[in-house]
Amino acid sequence: MTNINGAVVLVVGASGGLGQRIASRLAEAGTTVVRAARNPATLAGPDAYLADLRAPESADALLLAAAAAHPEHLDGVVIAAGAVAFGPVGELDDDTLDALFAVNTSAPIRLIRGALPRLSESAAAGRKPFIVTISGIVAESPTAGMAAYSASKAGLAAFVQAASRELRRSGIRVLDARPGHTETELSRHPLAGTAPTFPAGLDPDAVADRIVAAIVNDEKDLPSSAFTPPAN
């Protein structure tokens, strides 16, 4: 098991529906949480930093801020930020395409790459560092009307799957979570298009609980089947 009491963890997307819940649960368990998000209205706390993941320099800036605030160690990175867009492929514009891949694929990859030196130090000190990504069910089942979003998340899942095999040699565990549609605000604030009518989604509290339990229990993968569907 991983003891998160006393760990220092960077949570990116900490003002979102899942990120906020994960950050709160980690803090309740004794973790020092460094929060990062784009929305200043819902981001608060002494270790809170604004970040727009569409900017290529945002990943390095966040990691530098975390290191300045907590130079002693960094034991985990949770990437819960994301952006979504809806609509047919023929209506997909370049700005939306670029933003989807910047937020959902490129920024997480840069964060993971940039965090490796400090996470390796954590492992060398006898702790059990981890990285968590949330690619979602679309990484398993790309969805019509969400083609570019599905591709951006599938790209992240592919990177994480390969990177996890490399990083375990350094004692760094990578966990990708792929829950189904979850009742957060993400689909209500798309970059483009309008969300279709989804069936009742997963309870975000239950999803956050499952992800934190997986962190503690040293799990390495959370496919969509790992999340209990809502009761009828």
CATH (domain of 168): 3.40.50.720
Instruction: Please determine, for residue 8, whether its predicted confidence score (pLDDT) is greater than 90.
Output: yes
Mean pLDDT across the chain, nearest whole number? 95
pLDDT over 70, % of the chain: 98
Predicted pLDDT of residue 5 = 96
Instruction: Please determine, for residue 230, whether its predicted confidence score (pLDDT) is greater than 90.
Output: no
Banded pLDDT at 102 (limits 50, 70, 90): very high
Does residue 116 lie in a domain region?
yes
Does residue 207 lie in a domain region?
yes
Domain range holding 72?
8-224
**pLDDT tens string 146-187:** 999 999 999 999 999 999 999 999 999 999 999 999 999 898
Banded pLDDT at 231 (limits 50, 70, 90): low
**Residue 149, Cβ neighbours under 10 Å: how many?**
28
Instruction: Please determine, for residue 223, whether its predicted confidence score (pLDDT) is greater than 60.
Output: yes
Judge contact between 217 and 211, C-beta under 8 A: no
Judge contact between 174 and 131, C-beta under 8 A: yes
**pLDDT tens string 41-57:** 888 778 999 999 999 99
For residues 114-141, give the mean pLDDT.
97
How far apart are the C-alpha atoms of 135 and 228, rounded to whole Å?
17
- Whole-model pTM: value is 0.95
Banded pLDDT at 28 (limits 50, 70, 90): very high
Does residue 73 lie in a domain region?
yes
Instruction: Please determine, for residue 101, whether its predicted confidence score (pLDDT) is greater than 90.
Output: yes
Predicted pLDDT of residue 197 = 87
Does residue 121 lie in a domain region?
yes
For residues 195-202, give the mean pLDDT.
89
Does residue 175 lie in a domain region?
yes
User: Which residues, in sequence order, are CB contacts of 44 under 8 Å at separation 6+?
Assistant: none
- For the chain, how many structural domains are there in total? 1
Judge contact between 11 and 17, C-beta under 8 A: no
Predicted pLDDT of residue 229 = 57
Instruction: Please determine, for residue 134, whether its predicted confidence score (pLDDT) is greater than 90.
Output: yes
Does residue 230 lie in a domain region?
no
Does residue 142 lie in a domain region?
yes
Does residue 232 lie in a domain region?
no
Among 140, 70, 63, 150, residue whose Cα is nearest residue 104: 150
Instruction: Please determine, for residue 195, whether its predicted confidence score (pLDDT) is greater than 80.
Output: yes
CA 35-37-40 angle, to 5 degrees, is 105
